[in-house]
Amino acid sequence: MSKSIVFLDQGTLTRGKLRFNFPYTLTEIDNCPADEVSKALQGHEIAITNKIPINRAAMEANPQLKLIAVAATGYNMIDIDAARELGVTVCNVAGYSQVAVAEHAFMMMIALMHRLPLYEAQVREGAWQKSPFFTIFGAPIFELKGKTLGIAGKGSIGQQLAQYAESFGMQVLFAEHKDAKEVRAGYQSFKSVLAHSDVFSLHLPLTESTRNLIGYEELTQMKPGAILLNVSRGGLVDEEALAEALRENRIGGAGVDVLTTEPPTANHPLLAKDLGNFILTPHTAFASEEALATLVHLLENNINQFVAGNPVNVVS
């Protein structure tokens, strides 16, 4: 019997064409509006979504829905409690961008330690051309060797970044959960890691316990010259507080690939032009050609295995 599948934001799948090893019909919607999700799900047993939310009301209105296949690692846009109660399996695609995201974080780290945004801006503004010397003597540049990298999140990406950092002679510390009562082996307390890190990098899911994990208080606990990286989830960092800390030079810099609202509004605090040693990329850390090819393969396999009665990568 043919399975009916709908892809709610097919426009996000920029590489490859989905193909399955069972009879199916596939309805592709470029970018389904949030208020049309329930209607879009009608008649479909399987829904694919990257970032389009599927809430309880949409599931309750479509009892034929059996699988939500998330075309990404994060699944905070799905009402997981409702899915469990209503018997809807939710699976995600994990590990496909481990190398790409870790490389992106490392790229940001070394660029910010070498003050690349500051010097590149000076060249564009003509400062080098006007210099009486062969160079520009400006913002201090630091080597990675001997510095401390603190990592919040010891999943595949955090561990991959740790390997890159250690190969450059950095010391790596893994932070325990912020509100943990005990510190596990292989971790140090969140506050201790935050205070001792020259670079602090976030590799965590967005949950109620991690929302605004880094706010004004945490930014003041960092070293004055420390660098903050977030290539994980928008919402982990209080973006207003980060913009203020950068503007006032309370930290040495920041690299961000994800925002709470994507795409951002024109007046987003991290789009300001006076933030100094700061890099903002448009949620592209995951998007290497190699990672995207793996994503397509794993997404297809998740759906094939579910239809075969052997669901994998189940989060609900």
Upstream peptide bond of 264 is cis (omega within 30 degrees of 0)? no
What is the C-alpha separation between 208 and 210, in angstroms, rounded?
Answer: 6
Alpha-helical regions (H) of 49-145: 56-60, 80-86, 98-113, 116-124
Q: Given the residues 283, 289, 290, 300, select the one marked as catalytic.
A: 283
Would the CA dihedral through 110, 115, 118, 124 be positive or negative? negative
283 an active-site residue?
A: yes
Helix (H, G, I), strand (E, B) or coil at 72: coil
The span from the CA of 90 to the CA of 315, in Å, is 6
The question of whether 124 is a catalytic residue gets the answer no
Catalytic one among 143, 240, 262, 290?
262
Rounded to whole angstroms, how far apart are CA atoms 117 and 35?
40
CA distance 102 to 286: 9
For residue 140, the SS3 value is coil
- Active-site entry in 103, 233, 239, 300: 233
What length is written for the chain? 316
247 an active-site residue? Answer: no
Catalytic residues: 233, 262, 283
